[in-house]
Structures are given as C-alpha cells and as structure tokens.
Amino acid sequence: MLRRAVPPLLAAIVVVFGVAALMVSPAVGAPQGRVDYVVMAGVPGLRWDDVSPEQTPTLWRLAGQGSIGSLSVRSGHNPTCPVDGWLTLGAGNYAGWPGERGTTGCPTSPVTVARPDRIGANLPDQRGTVLHNKDRLPWGAVPGALPESVRCTVAIGPGAAVAAARPFGRVDRYEPNLPEDAAGLLSSCVLSMVDLGTVAGEDPAERAAAARRADAALARLLAARPDNSLVLVAGVSDTDQTSRLHVAVADGPGWERGWLTSASTGRDGYLQLIDLAPTALRALDRPLPEQLFRGQPATVVQDRPADLSAAIAGPADADEEAGAQRRVASGFFALLAGCQFLLAIAVVPLLRRARRHAGPGGPTPAPRRVVEAVEVLLVAAALAIPAALVADAVPWWRTGHPGWAFAATTLVVLTVATAGVRFARGYRRTLGPLGAVVIVAAIIVGTDVLTGARLQLNGVTGYSALEGGRYAGLGTVGFGVFTAAILLSGGWLAQRIRREWRPAVLICVGGLGVVLVGSPYLGSDPVGAVALTAGVSIAAAISTGGWLTLGRLAWATIAGLVVTVGFAVIDMRRPAGERGGLGRFLDALGDGTGGMTVHRSGAASVDALTGSPLTVLALIGAVLVWFALLQPWGGLKRLFGIYPAVRAAMLGIPVAALLAGLLGGSALNVAGAAAALTVPLAALSALRVLDHATDRTRPPEPRTADSGSAGASADRADESAGSPVDGADPVAGSGVDGADPAADEPRADVDESPAEGAGSPAVPASAVPASADPAGRSRPPR
C-alpha cells in the first residue's frame, strides 16, 4: 500500500517545489511622477566613454541631476543603424528600415523627408516600411505607434522625423534643424523628438568633436525646454557593425540621481531602446498600446553612487566588458569543443583496453599513468565552464589583451579546481570524481544566481546585454551546466543511501534546483524550471532501478503538467510587464499573435543550431555516448546497472536539456552546455567501472543459529559498510590503487537491478570460482 502511494506523493512534492518557484517578484522601481511634456533627444552612437565634464559639460550636469543607465539598442536588424534605431524608438518595438544594405550593414540610401507645407512633413517610404515590418520581420512592430498614441508630435531633424512619423507617414510639426529659440516649438505639442547629431567612428578626436557639437545642441534644447517636462537623452543606435551599450539619461520631476531600469531588463542600470516609448506615454499619463509595444516603462532605483564620476564609470565599464565578451566567448567555446573532441578520441582506446582479463589472450592494459592523466583531463574538461564563470569575477576585459587575460585567469581557476578534485579524499572511488565535480559546479552556478547573477551578465559563459535577450537571472549555458550538476548531485547522493529513499533524495535536490531556476527573485527562467521539473520527475521515477514503465511515465508526466499549469496560472496573474516567457506566450495566443511568437522561437532555434559551438559540443557528446560508451565494451551500461540512481540522473539530463531548448528557442545550446559537464564524467566513471569489471568479492559469512541479534546487527552493519551506496566500488575490486580484492570488505547488497535491463550484472558469476560452504554459499579461494 505504501509503495503505491509513493508516486503520487512524489508528484505532489514536485508540484509544490515547482509552483513555489514562481512567487511574485518585487517591483524593480516605483512609478515616476507625471509631466506635461516629454522631450526625447537622440544622439546615434553616443557612449558613456564620450561623456566627460570637459567635452560634454551640459550632458555631464544633466546626468548628475537626473538618472542614468546603459541603453541596449537592439532593433529589428543587426546591426542597429541610426535609421533602425529611430524607427524602433517610434515603434516601441523591434523595428527595421527596409532597403539594400551596404558593407557596414546599414541602408545605402538616405531617408526622404518631404515638406508639403511649412508646418509638418511626410515620409513617402513609410507605407513600405510598415509592410516590411509586418511581413518580413517577426516582431509585429508598427512604425509610428508612439506618435499615433498622442494628439500632436514635434520632430526636429531627419532622424527625429523617422521616429515621429505616423504609420501613414505624416509628421505633425517638423523643422530640419534646431532653431535658436525653440521654446515655442517644443511647447506646441506634448511630445517632441530631437536629432542632436551622430557620434561615429573610433578616432578619439573625431568622436570628441562630434560629442561637443551634440552637447552644444543639447544646451540650446535644455534652455528652451517647457516647464514640468521630462527630457530623455539616448544614444539611439550603433554607427557600424560593432554593437555597443549607449547613453541613457532621464531628467525631470521624480527622476533625480538614480539608476534607470525597467521590467523588461530586471537589472538596475540597464534599459532597452524599446522601453523609451512606453516611458514617454507613462510620464504623460497616456494609455499604452500594449499589443504593439514590447518595451516597459522605465523606473528609477535610488542606489547610485554619490560621486558622478564613479557612477558613470559603471556603465562605461559594462560597455567595455560586453564588447570584450562577444570577442572572447566564441573562441572559448570553439576551443572547448576542440578539446572535448580530442579527449573523446583519446578515451575510446582506453575504454577498449580498460577491462582486465584473467587469461593471456586479452589486450594489454593501458599504462596506469596514461589512464590517470586522461582521468585528470576529463575532470578538467567537465570543470571548464564553471571555471570560466568564476574567471569573470576578475576584470580581465580592462587589460590590453583581454583574450589572453581571460585565458590565463580561467586556466588558473581550472587548475585549482581540478587539483582540488584530484586530491579530494574520495577521488579513488568509482564515483568520487563525479560527485566532487558536480557539487563544485552546482555550488558555483547556484552561488552566482543567489547573489544576483552578476557573473552571468556580460560574462563569457553567460549572456550579453548587447544581444537584448536577457539581462538578469540564469542564462542558457548556466542553465545547461546547472541542470546537469543538480541532477547528477541528486543521483550521486541518492546512490549513497537505501534504495527506497532514493526517489525522495532526487526530488528534494531537484526541487531546490527548480525553485532556484524558476523564481523571479533568482533564475527568472520559468521555461527552464518546467524543463528541469520534467527531468527530475523522470530521474526520480527510475532511480531505484528498472525501466521507465507506463505507470512511472504517467506520474512523471502528471507532475510536469501540473507544474506547467501552476506556472501559467500564477504568471498570468502578474502584471503584464512582469510576466515570464510562459505568460507572454499565453498572452500572444490570446490576442492572436501566437504564430508570430512560434515563428520567432523557430528562427532563434535555427540561428542557435547553425552558428553555435555549443551545438558541436552536443553532437560530440552524443557521438561518444552512442558509438562508444553504450557499446558492450564501453562501460556505461555496466555503470547504469551498478548505480541506478546515477543512471536515472543521466537520463533526466537530456530530457530537461532538449525540452528547454525546444521551448526556449535555444536549440541544442542547453544540451551542449549540459554535455560539456556530463559526458567527460560519464567517460571517466565508465573507465573506473571497467577497470573493476573482473574483480571478485567475498560474500558475507553465513550466520549460525546462535548468532542472535548481535550477529544480525553485525550483518546489517557489514551490508551497510560494503554497499555501493557508500561511494566505494560496488564490486569492491582492487581499486585504482591496486589493492587486493580478496582483502576487501564484504559486499552483501549489490542489488542494483542488472536483471531489470539496465546493464550487465555487477559481479559476473564466471568471475567467482566457488567452493561450497555448509550454507550453500560460494566463497572465493583463499
């Protein structure tokens, strides 16, 4: 009866853990005060390293009295050219300008601004632009959605005309240049957009001169600003193929001396270009066209340093780190894929020669030193991504050679971590390296997430603010590593206890991982939490041995579905701007744009599948497992038969990784990150198991009738001490250090279900020459 109640109880525990992960997140900032006018000033290309009290004194003073942040200028095209940035500003969504693109990736023909009268202007190409964003781009942007939301809009300069044009092309009031006295013009409409010029190129003198001109124009603009107005200054775009973070300054009532943020980023000091349109409407107390806008209104967080130089140094440093991250990340993962490929080639002959044979006809075992060296390299390969994550705690990007600095830092961290595992107390045991590595990896990733995921943002193994996809929580690579680490930690711990308690251990460890991944306070990844729930449910169902029967699969499916429904219900009850990916998808289904969401996810998956070294890592791992480790000589089936809890964890990892990639639009990236940790450990453990495949164990001495309770207690103690759950080799072989198998402790409970289809028996009968004893048991020769 109790055994029948275990599956529903475990499913209930998974549900509780999963739903608890989606608590309501606190607001990222309080709504700001209402104003009568909003003036949006754009300077394409303006970065924080262009701002200084000497060359931009007006902007410096404005930043000192207002709130500042780093602006991500992602648009419908990559790179975000000035015309794309202005168009995105006016759409409140990722928009792009049509037309042929030159070598720099930007349109070759200028924007045509016609002036049919002296009041306004007209964009003849606006209709084609609207159709281009509707039919060719997956975001559903409507150019002109922002000016269409107010009665009247002023545009000064050609770039501002692109942002201020309504969907049919009309600009309400237009001037090609900023007048000397612009007070009357700026107060004629509640919303004004001003093009202050462009700061382009990498030559310091040219950038300084352009920044001074923009600052002088800003001084004239501020002198003419209306009373009770909000001024937004933004570097609305890049100017070449190099993406950067740009300036964002807000000055007005309620915007004093803080960090800018929004619900779309969830990170203090970071704002998206698509957030500026809803910010303007919210400040004017106008309703937001939520189905058209993808951004969220900006808010202010009051924890900025009092010293303005120190405050501005933060966004400038973030821009430098993000730029260096993009250059270094691809090289790191390509190198990791190459190293894992070479290790896979080196492991195959060792696996074929790892199983010792009693007769002279077997293959000669590989030299012990070679095997030990490869084992250490496998440990290092598994720890490479966690070590790279720790390396991001060191400001390597500030050096003259950031790539070499990152490589040196990562190598030092990796050497220390590998040495710690190598000289750990339980390293000689079969599962000793696996347990040490996965616990270290889980602690590194978990600690980073618990402390605000600071190493994830702009980190080599994290995500970039330049991509505009994620700014807080757990990234794709971090989720893949953490999923593998948390499931293998649960399997390793479960293997060390009695069989009937193994599912509970996996549920508890995995449930904690689900909470950390899915909580908006921490990982902020509800899709990842649902995928991890599925992996944990599968692993718990088969952790005691045997196959995944229909009954076990049913309970695992029910747990995953209930958690998914719980996430969906609670996510839909949150404000629209704070919903996760699951809630936004359900919103899209409700308003008829679900197909567009699926299209975006599919396009992202294709890009991730074709252009990522993580895909190569996933394929290398799959080939090694299928064509080597799962072969009769590969050792993985034997490992699964002896350690069913570890088998369960390793089967739960691909379930969670592939499901997360499918639902999150990251294709095989999650699986590649998980494989980078799992496959080297699986190969190492297989080598250890094969090394002990022909070891013999001494069965426990028979109990006599007068043994009494003391004898029974002793037998139970021997079983506990000799069981494979204590982390020792389940067949108690000579071990890596070559101890005599005949001198080992008894192994009385090697019950790890090889007969249930998981693998070969732990101790082959042919390996134990028997001599009958009075109790009918076999005993190895003395």
- Of the candidates 726, 772, 731, the one whose C-alpha atom is nearest the C-alpha of residue 750 is 731
- Of the candidates 257, 294, 251, the one whose C-alpha atom is nearest the C-alpha of residue 275 is 294
d(CA 377, CA 472): 33
Identity of the amino acid at 319? D
Say what the pLDDT of residue 664 is. Answer: 79
Looking at residues 297-318, what average pLDDT do you find? 92
d(CA 1, CA 404): 62
Consecutive H or E run containing 272: strand 270-272
Report the percent of the chain where pLDDT is more than 70.
Answer: 77
| Cα dist from 430 to 170, 191, 358, 687, whole Å | 73, 69, 21, 9
Say what the pLDDT of residue 577 is. Answer: 55
Q: Rounded to the nearest 5 degrees, what angle is found at the Cα of 551, between the Cα atoms of 549 and 555?
A: 120
| Cα dist from 344 to 341, 349, 368, 623, 647, whole Å | 5, 10, 18, 9, 20
Q: Rounded to the nearest 5 degrees, what angle is found at the Cα of 457, between the Cα atoms of 451 and 461?
A: 100
Say what the pLDDT of residue 53 is. Answer: 94
Distance of CA 132 to the CA centre of its chain: 32
d(CA 267, CA 552): 41
Say what the pLDDT of residue 16 is. Answer: 55
- Of the candidates 577, 575, 572, 601, the one whose C-alpha atom is nearest the C-alpha of residue 587 is 572
d(CA 135, CA 115): 29
d(CA 389, CA 403): 15
Say what the pLDDT of residue 392 is. Answer: 93
Say what the pLDDT of residue 33 is. Answer: 72
- Of the candidates 602, 492, 510, the one whose C-alpha atom is nearest the C-alpha of residue 563 is 510
d(CA 229, CA 281): 13
Say what the pLDDT of residue 728 is. Answer: 38
User: Quick check: 278 pLDDT over 90?
Assistant: yes
Q: H helices of 355-431, where?
A: 368-382, 384-391, 402-422
d(CA 296, CA 577): 6
d(CA 736, CA 353): 15
User: Quick check: 340 pLDDT over 90?
Assistant: yes
pTM: 0.81
| Cα dist from 133 to 81, 149, 275, 297, whole Å | 15, 19, 19, 23
Say what the pLDDT of residue 466 is. Answer: 87
Consecutive H or E run containing 229: strand 229-234
Q: Are 74 and 468 in contact (CB under 8 A)?
A: yes
d(CA 613, CA 602): 19
Q: Does a cis peptide bond (omega within 30 degrees of 0) precede residue 79?
A: yes
Residues 6 or more apart from 5 whose CB is under 8 A from it? none
Angle, to 10 degrees, between the axis of helix 526-541 and the axis of helix 476-494?
20
Q: Rounded to the nearest 5 degrees, what angle is found at the Cα of 473, between the Cα atoms of 515 and 317?
A: 155
d(CA 232, CA 221): 12
User: Quick check: 678 pLDDT over 90?
Assistant: yes
Q: Are 234 and 276 in contact (CB under 8 A)?
A: yes
Residues 6 or more apart from 713 whose CB is under 8 A from it? none
- Of the candidates 759, 687, 679, the one whose C-alpha atom is nearest the C-alpha of residue 438 is 679
DSSP label at residue 247: E
Take residue 743 and report the two structure tokens written for it: 């001198």
Q: Are 376 and 424 in contact (CB under 8 A)?
A: no
d(CA 527, CA 91): 28
733-775 pLDDT per residue, tens: 333 333 333 333 333 333 333 333 333 333 443 333 333 343 3
Is 564 strand, coil or helix?
helix
Which residue in this structure is represented by tokens 């993406």?
Answer: 243
Identity of the amino acid at 762? A
d(CA 95, CA 83): 10
d(CA 670, CA 662): 10
Take residue 677 and report the two structure tokens written for it: 């940790």
Q: How confident is the model at residue 312 (pLDDT cuts 50, 70, 90)?
A: very high
- Of the candidates 431, 363, 395, the one whose C-alpha atom is nearest the C-alpha of residue 643 is 431
d(CA 226, CA 216): 18
712-736 pLDDT per residue, tens: 333 333 333 333 433 333 433 333 3
d(CA 274, CA 71): 10
132-156 pLDDT per residue, tens: 998 888 888 999 999 999 999 999 9
Q: How confident is the model at residue 29 (pLDDT cuts 50, 70, 90)?
A: low
Q: How confident is the model at residue 662 (pLDDT cuts 50, 70, 90)?
A: confident
Identity of the amino acid at 524? S
d(CA 65, CA 251): 7
DSSP label at residue 275: G
User: Quick check: 163 pLDDT over 50?
Assistant: yes
| Cα dist from 722 to 243, 698, 737, 745, 751, whole Å | 60, 11, 18, 6, 12
User: Quick check: 271 pLDDT over 80?
Assistant: yes
d(CA 471, CA 451): 14
pLDDT, the chain, mean: 81
Residues 6 or more apart from 511 whose CB is under 8 A from it? 13, 14, 16, 17, 18, 536
User: Exposure of 414 by Cβ count < 10 A (0-12 exposed, 13-18 middle, 19+ buried)?
Assistant: buried
| Cα dist from 83 to 38, 108, 381, whole Å | 21, 11, 45
d(CA 139, CA 296): 15
Say what the pLDDT of residue 386 is. Answer: 96
Say what the pLDDT of residue 740 is. Answer: 32
Looking at residues 24-39, what average pLDDT do you find? 68
Q: How many residues does the chain have?
A: 782
Consecutive H or E run containing 674: helix 669-691
Say what the pLDDT of residue 586 is. Answer: 55
Q: Are 69 and 226 in contact (CB under 8 A)?
A: no
- Of the candidates 189, 252, 297, 231, the one whose C-alpha atom is nearest the C-alpha of residue 34 is 252
* Torsional class of 164: left (φ above 0), alpha (ψ -120 to 50), beta (otherwise): alpha
244-264 pLDDT per residue, tens: 999 999 999 989 889 999 988
d(CA 618, CA 654): 10
Highest mean pLDDT among 17-26, 473-482, 584-593 belongs to 473-482
Say what the pLDDT of residue 354 is. Answer: 77
Better-scored residue on pLDDT, 288 or 776: 288
553-600 pLDDT per residue, tens: 776 777 667 766 666 666 666 665 555 555 555 555 555 554 545 445
Q: Are 517 and 482 in contact (CB under 8 A)?
A: yes
d(CA 672, CA 674): 5
Looking at residues 186-206, what average pLDDT do you find? 93
Q: Is the dihedral of CA 490, 492, 498, 503 positive or negative?
A: positive
